[in-house]
């Protein structure tokens, strides 16, 4: 049995100093409802919901930017956007979608689900988790404030040097880009450390690494990728920051700089970044497909290892973004080969998902539709990716719409389709009602058609020689028809998402009106989050589950009978935890993460406009850190009746036990629960 006080990763609780807290202002907040409870929450579930909601808002912003692009490009010699306006719009579209939409949606799922799937009550560092979210939000707001403060960034999301310098981009837009992303990067790094420690240290008894669901595994690999990739981007961004604001000359060609330095730094981050974006979605559908096929995931070890392989190999392919950049034939050849081979573990996943469905009993409710959407659309994107890997002919494809087609197929058709499926799948667990399935199916088909109409023709446009990042194109080049079709497709996508948002509103209204409770396990699923009530109780698990095998919950519901046929042996209702929070002590809420996070954008604005704002921001940050350190370990009247949690292996003092950072209840499985376990 794993506990937090023994073993190599032991985190023993400290003893409380017993100092009374003199300052009322530093008391832990106690609100459990209302907006105050949201801004002070350290609950991983609420943080996950906030990540998701923020991502959807940024998705609307990025989507409007996309529609502006498509309107401008619907016809040759478009006049809707000037060159300058277009350059800002396409830069912000890419930056927003990558950093403020796809990554936070992944974070939403990982934050909400990883503790549940490993049987924990929260992440390792709950206040740090809240800090990550608020810092991310601040970075996103700072980046988008550029629109109101002189114009968006206009150097492309990849922002190559020397164009990203002051001489060639004299507006402040790129400073906002820089600052916003440096700040958002802090959030990702803190989150990475948090989730890695959580996965390694806080698994329930019996939850060995190779019993973790594939979603958690993909999440773990993603966190390691973030841990090593974000610092590279941050380093490049600091060099740029010093060039732009303080007169450094890292990328100044007059001082002898080689602009390829930026390219290398960016893409060493940028390639792992795409796996950061897609691996969580791979994890999502790896949960959905087995449930809707009524079979286990085919090849669990291979799914885990291929994810790890992608994580490792992703570091060795970055210069495939640079085949035309003049790096020389030896480099080009090496990266061409490595890029070929990274298709292998990804292909393994595709085949395993299909094999899971093979021989199953497929129920095409919305989650499965989206999951199969990912499998098929990602395959298309992966195939065009293989054609890019042929470096010589990639010199015809790179920087054209063929590439735009490729990455939208893998990121939108891949990651985003998977995430929408995940929303449909986990919505009942998170909110206590299902999203309407009929509408969900309509939603899916309109999205599929719109998506293919938008990005399918871009393959043709690229091969016909239409470069990317161009604010207009000319008549007489053969680009007219497919650009027009693509614009129609874009508005079809927008329609499908309006339907999705409408579905949320109507489903919620219907659920409130009907007052029916949502079952704990509405899909007859396999992993631990379905063994507790819906919506998830604040304390997650009444008692720490004990895990005996992969898909433990499933095996407590279904067993092979004497004839070798797999039959149901228990109802979900009898196996799920009733949701009794007695005796549970949760990490207490705190305002200080928000305070620190608010300070950071002020530092950003200050560096751009007026250093006095940096002082304001800095004071907020320092005050926040002090508050964080000095606030009491927990709220005076903790939620469910403060109650000495006793049990084997418990420290005597319940004060010490209540120190922030203690997640587990040390209850062992009860007698009856033991009896229910069939090995």
Partner 1 sequence: MSLARRAGLLGPALAVAATLAGCAKDAPQDTLEPEGRFANDLDNLINPIFAVAGVVFVVVLGGALFIALRFRSRNDEHFDDLPAQIHGNNVLEIGWTVVPAIILLAIGVFSVIAIFELNEEPPDDAVNVQVIGQQWWWEYRYDLNGDGTFDEIVTANDLVIPVGEEIDLEITARDVIHSWWAPKLNGKRDAVPNRTHPWKIQADEPGEYVGQCTEYCGLSHAEMRVKVVALERGEFDTWVEEQQTDAETFATDDTSEEAEGYRAFTGLLCNSCHLVEGVNDDQFSDEDLREFQRDVAGGPGTITDDELQASGHAPNLTHLMSRSTFAGAKFDLRRNTPYCRDLGVDWADEVDDVERCLDLGALEAWLRNPPAEKAMQAEPIPGRSPRRGMPNLELTEEQIDQLVAWLITLK
Q: 217 to 246, contacts with partner 1 by CB under 8 A? A: 243-246
CA 447, CA 455: separation in Å to the nearest integer?
12
CA 319, CA 279: separation in Å to the nearest integer?
21
Residue 472, interface with partner 1 (CB under 8 A)?
yes
How many CB atoms within 10 Å of residue 23?
9
In the complex, least distance from residue 560 CB atom to partner 1, rounded to whole angstroms: 8
In the complex, least distance from residue 678 CB atom to partner 1, rounded to whole angstroms: 16
356: closest CA among 418, 292, 442? 292
Strand, coil or helix: 212: coil
Q: 432 to 471, contacts with partner 1 by CB under 8 A? A: 441, 445, 448-449, 452, 456-457, 459-460, 463-471
In the complex, least distance from residue 261 CB atom to partner 1, rounded to whole angstroms: 11
Alpha-carbon separation of residue 410 from 36, 305, 323, 441, 485 (angstroms):
39, 21, 20, 21, 20
484: closest CA among 450, 464, 456, 454? 454
Show the CA angle centred on residue 664, arms to residues 663 and 669, nearest 5°.
Answer: 160
CA 679, CA 660: separation in Å to the nearest integer?
36
Q: 575 to 604, contacts with partner 1 by CB under 8 A? A: none
CA 179, CA 147: separation in Å to the nearest integer?
14
Point out which residues pair with 559 in neighbouring strands.
567
Residue with tokens 């667990």: 429
397's tokens: 């494809």
Q: 74 to 93, contacts with partner 1 by CB under 8 A? A: 82-84, 87
- Decide whether 104 or 270 has the Cβ nearer to partner 1: 270
Contact map string, positions 175 to 214, toward partner 1, x by CB under 8 A: ----------------------------------------
CA 595, CA 591: separation in Å to the nearest integer?
7
How many CB atoms within 10 Å of residue 363?
12
- Decide whether 261 or 659 has the Cβ nearer to partner 1: 261
**Of 218, 239, 350, 621, the one binding partner 1 by CB under 8 A:** 350
Residue 34, interface with partner 1 (CB under 8 A)?
no
In the complex, least distance from residue 482 CB atom to partner 1, rounded to whole angstroms: 8
Element (H, E) at 323: none
Q: 396 to 415, contacts with partner 1 by CB under 8 A? A: 396-400
CA 164, CA 147: separation in Å to the nearest integer?
18
Residue 343, interface with partner 1 (CB under 8 A)?
yes
In the complex, least distance from residue 258 CB atom to partner 1, rounded to whole angstroms: 6
Burial classification of residue 540, based on how many CB atoms lie within 10 Å of its CB (0-12 exposed, 13-18 middle, 19 or more buried): buried
- Decide whether 299 or 669 has the Cβ nearer to partner 1: 299
- In 569-645, which residue ranges form alpha helices assigned H by DSSP? 572-575, 592-608, 611-630
In the complex, least distance from residue 668 CB atom to partner 1, rounded to whole angstroms: 30
Residue with tokens 């994107």: 381
Residue 347, interface with partner 1 (CB under 8 A)?
yes
In the complex, least distance from residue 55 CB atom to partner 1, rounded to whole angstroms: 26
**Which 8-state DSSP code applies to residue 361?**
-
Point out which residues pair with 566 in neighbouring strands.
560
Q: Please choose, out of 226-234, 378-386, 417-425, 669-677, the segment that lies near partner 1 by the rule CB under 8 A.
A: 378-386
- Decide whether 82 or 646 has the Cβ nearer to partner 1: 82
In the complex, least distance from residue 555 CB atom to partner 1, rounded to whole angstroms: 10
**Of 478, 578, 636, 644, the one binding partner 1 by CB under 8 A:** 478
In the complex, least distance from residue 370 CB atom to partner 1, rounded to whole angstroms: 13
52's tokens: 């998701």
CA 117, CA 91: separation in Å to the nearest integer?
37
Q: Please choose, out of 227-235, 289-297, 619-627, 667-675, the segment that lies near partner 1 by the rule CB under 8 A.
A: 289-297
Residue 266, interface with partner 1 (CB under 8 A)?
no
Residue 256, interface with partner 1 (CB under 8 A)?
yes
Strand, coil or helix: 566: strand
- Decide whether 22 or 301 has the Cβ nearer to partner 1: 301
Contact map string, positions 507 to 526, toward partner 1, x by CB under 8 A: --------------------
| CA dihedral for 311, 313, 315, 320, sign (positive or negative) | negative
In the complex, least distance from residue 236 CB atom to partner 1, rounded to whole angstroms: 15
Q: Detail the DSSP E strand segments found in 264-307.
A: none
423: closest CA among 403, 453, 443, 409? 443
- Decide whether 316 or 537 has the Cβ nearer to partner 1: 316
Count residues near partner 1 (CB under 8 A): 116
CB 450 within 8 A of CB 493: yes
In the complex, least distance from residue 532 CB atom to partner 1, rounded to whole angstroms: 23
Mutual angle of helices 329-357 and 260-293, in 10-degree steps = 10
**Of 21, 38, 80, 294, the one binding partner 1 by CB under 8 A:** 294
CB 546 within 8 A of CB 206: yes
Residue 503, interface with partner 1 (CB under 8 A)?
no
Contact map string, positions 40 to 79, toward partner 1, x by CB under 8 A: ----------------------------------------
Contact map string, positions 548 to 567, toward partner 1, x by CB under 8 A: ----------x-------xx
- Decide whether 425 or 473 has the Cβ nearer to partner 1: 473
CA-atom Rg of the chain in angstroms: 26
**Of 71, 324, 499, 518, the one binding partner 1 by CB under 8 A:** 324
**Of 227, 386, 504, 625, the one binding partner 1 by CB under 8 A:** 386
Residue 367, interface with partner 1 (CB under 8 A)?
no
Alpha-carbon separation of residue 114 from 47, 217, 580 (angstroms):
13, 9, 21
In the complex, least distance from residue 620 CB atom to partner 1, rounded to whole angstroms: 27
In the complex, least distance from residue 478 CB atom to partner 1, rounded to whole angstroms: 4
CA 377, CA 415: separation in Å to the nearest integer?
10
- Decide whether 400 or 588 has the Cβ nearer to partner 1: 400
**Of 12, 359, 578, 641, the one binding partner 1 by CB under 8 A:** 359
**Which 8-state DSSP code applies to residue 529?**
G
Residue 363, interface with partner 1 (CB under 8 A)?
yes
Point out which residues pair with 567 in neighbouring strands.
559
């Amino acid at each position: 049995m794993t506990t937090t006080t023994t073993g190599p990763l032991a985190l023993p609780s400290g003893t409380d100093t017993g100092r009374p807290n003199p300052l009322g202002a530093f008391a832990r907040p106690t609100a459990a409802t209302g907006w105050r409870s949201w801004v002070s929450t350290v609950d991983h579930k609420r943080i996950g919901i906030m990540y998701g909601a923020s991502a959807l808002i940024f998705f609307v912003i990025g989507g409007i930017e996309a529609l502006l692009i498509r309107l401008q490009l619907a016809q040759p010699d478009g006049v809707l956007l000037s060159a300058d306006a277009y350059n800002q719009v396409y830069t912000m579209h890419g930056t927003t979608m990558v950093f403020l939409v796809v990554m936070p949606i992944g974070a939403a799922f990982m934050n909400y689900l990883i503790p549940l799937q490993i049987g924990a009550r929260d992440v390792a560092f709950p206040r740090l988790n809240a800090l990550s979210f608020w810092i991310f939000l601040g970075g996103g707001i700072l980046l988008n404030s550029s629109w109101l403060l002189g114009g968006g960034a206009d150097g492309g999301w990849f922002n190559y040097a020397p164009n990203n310098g002051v001489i060639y981009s004299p507006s402040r837009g790129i400073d906002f880009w820089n600052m916003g992303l440096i700040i958002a990067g802090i959030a990702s790094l803190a989150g990475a450390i948090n989730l890695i420690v959580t996965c390694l240290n806080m698994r329930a008894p019996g939850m060995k690494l190779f019993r973790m669901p594939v979603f958690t595994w993909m999440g773990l690999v993603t966190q390691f990728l973030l841990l090593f990739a974000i610092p590279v981007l941050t380093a490049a961004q600091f060099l740029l920051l010093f060039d732009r604001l303080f007169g450094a000359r890292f990328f100044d060609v007059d001082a002898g700089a080689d602009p390829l330095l930026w390219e290398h730094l960016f893409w060493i981050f940028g390639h792992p970044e795409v796996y950061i974006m897609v691996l969580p979605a791979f994890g999502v559908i790896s949960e959905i497909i087995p449930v809707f096929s009524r079979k286990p995931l085919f090849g669990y070890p291979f799914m885990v290892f291929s994810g790890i392989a992608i994580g490792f190999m992703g570091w060795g392919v970055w210069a495939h973004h640079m085949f035309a950049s003049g790096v020389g034939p030896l480099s080009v050849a090496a990266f061409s080969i490595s890029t070929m081979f990274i298709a292998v573990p990804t292909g393994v996943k595709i085949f395993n998902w299909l094999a899971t469905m093979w021989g199953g009993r497929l129920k095409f409710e919305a989650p499965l539709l989206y999951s199969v959407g990912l499998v098929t659309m990602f395959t298309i994107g992966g195939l065009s990716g293989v054609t890019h890997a042929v470096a010589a002919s990639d010199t015809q494809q790179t920087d054209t719409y063929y590439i735009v087609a490729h990455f939208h197929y893998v990121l939108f058709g891949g990651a985003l389709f998977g995430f929408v499926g995940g929303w449909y799948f986990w919505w009942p667990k998170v909110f206590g009602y299902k999203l309407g399935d009929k509408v969900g199916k309509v939603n899916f088909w309109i999205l599929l058609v719109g998506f293919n109409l938008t990005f399918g023709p871009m393959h043709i446009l690229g091969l016909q020689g239409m470069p990317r990042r161009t604010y207009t194109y000319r008549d007489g080049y053969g680009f007219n028809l497919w650009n027009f079709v693509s614009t129609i497709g874009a508005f079809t996508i927008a329609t499908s998402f309006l339907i999705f948002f409408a579905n949320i509103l109507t489903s919620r209204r219907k659920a409130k009106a009907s007052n029916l409770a949502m079952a704990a396990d509405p899909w007859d699923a396999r992993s631990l989050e379905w063994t507790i009530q819906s919506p998830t109780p604040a304390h997650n698990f009444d008692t720490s589950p004990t895990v005996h095998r992969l898909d433990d919950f499933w095996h407590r519901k279904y067993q092979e009978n004497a004839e070798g046929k797999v039959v149901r042996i228990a109802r979900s209702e009898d196996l799920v935890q009733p949701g009794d929070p007695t005796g549970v002590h949760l990490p207490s809420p705190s305002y200080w993460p928000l305070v620190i996070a608010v300070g950071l954008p002020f530092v950003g604005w200050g560096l751009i406009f007026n250093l006095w704002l940096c002082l304001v921001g800095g004071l907020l940050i320092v005050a926040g850190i002090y508050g964080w350190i000095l606030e009491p370990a927990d709220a005076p009247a903790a939620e469910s009746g403060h109650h000495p949690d006793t049990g084997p292996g418990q420290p005597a003092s319940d004060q010490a036990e209540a120190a922030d950072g203690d997640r587990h209840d040390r209850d062992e499985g009860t007698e009856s629960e033991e009896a229910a376990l069939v090995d």
